[in-house]
Amino acid sequence: MSGSRAAVVVVLLGVLVLFAACGPPAGFVSGADIDREADAARAVTPLPPGASYPSYTHDPGGAYQPGTGRSEVEFQAMCAWFRYWAEAIARDDEAAIERAAAMWDRIRTWSAYRNFDRASRDYVDSMVERARLGDASGLVKLCS
């Protein structure tokens, strides 16, 4: 290999090392990827009437697990629905209570809920059951 070819190979290897060092570690994605994931999740994850998603972006130089954006959005929506449910119970608004209780069946399919460990799911389920009986105090604590 000639000297100039060897120099080109060394430079290309250096560039590859630089790109590898500047990107997220293997198995992780960038903050921009997570922001796109969260945007896609917001488009299909309903909020209760009057609620909105917070505005924020992730560190573009950060390294995140794939799925983080979707889970964050689902958790935000779950808490919005719990607050809505608690407020409906406080106002004795039967239509809103029914809407929130019905949404629970959908929330249980979301990754944010499914990724809880068994004890956490049991705890959330018990707070939901208390809300079904008219006690929203547990829902308020869950998302405070």
- Determine, yes or no, domain membership for 9: no
- Determine, yes or no, domain membership for 65: yes
- Determine, yes or no, domain membership for 36: yes
Predicted confidence (pLDDT) at residue 13 exceeds the cutoff of 50: no
The mean-pLDDT minimum among 11-25, 27-41, 83-97, 118-132 falls in: 11-25
Q: Residue 22 — pLDDT band, cuts 50, 70, 90?
A: low
- Determine, yes or no, domain membership for 15: no
Averaged confidence pLDDT in the chain: 85
Contact 88, 96 (CB under 8 A): yes
Q: How many domains does the chain have?
A: 1
Full-model pTM: 0.80
pLDDT at 9: 34
DSSP string, 3-53: HHHHHHHHHHHHHHHHHHHHSPPTT-B-HHHHHHHHHHHHHHS---TT--P
Predicted confidence (pLDDT) at residue 135 exceeds the cutoff of 70: yes
- Determine, yes or no, domain membership for 6: no
Q: What token pair was written down for 49?
A: 């009437």
Percent of all residues in the chain with a pLDDT value above 90, rounded to a whole number: 74
pLDDT at 25: 67
Predicted confidence (pLDDT) at residue 8 exceeds the cutoff of 50: no
Residue ranges making up the domain that contains 79: 28-142
Per residue in 92-123, pLDDT tens? 999 999 999 999 999 999 999 999 999 999 99
Residue 62 to residues 4, 21, 22, 32, 56, Cα–Cα distance (Å): 37, 12, 10, 9, 14
Q: What share of the chain is helix, strand, coil (3-state, %, to 5)?
A: 65, 0, 30
Question: Residues near 90 by Cβ (< 8 Å), separated by ≥ 6?
Answer: 136
Predicted confidence (pLDDT) at residue 90 exceeds the cutoff of 60: yes
Sign of the alpha-carbon dihedral angle for 114, 117, 142, 34: negative
pLDDT at 50: 96
Per residue in 54-86, pLDDT tens? 988 899 889 999 999 999 999 999 999 999 999
Angle between helices 68-91 and 118-132 (to 10 degrees): 20
27: left (phi over 0), alpha (psi -120 to 50) or beta: left
pLDDT at 16: 31
Q: Which residue has the tokens 């290309």?
A: 12
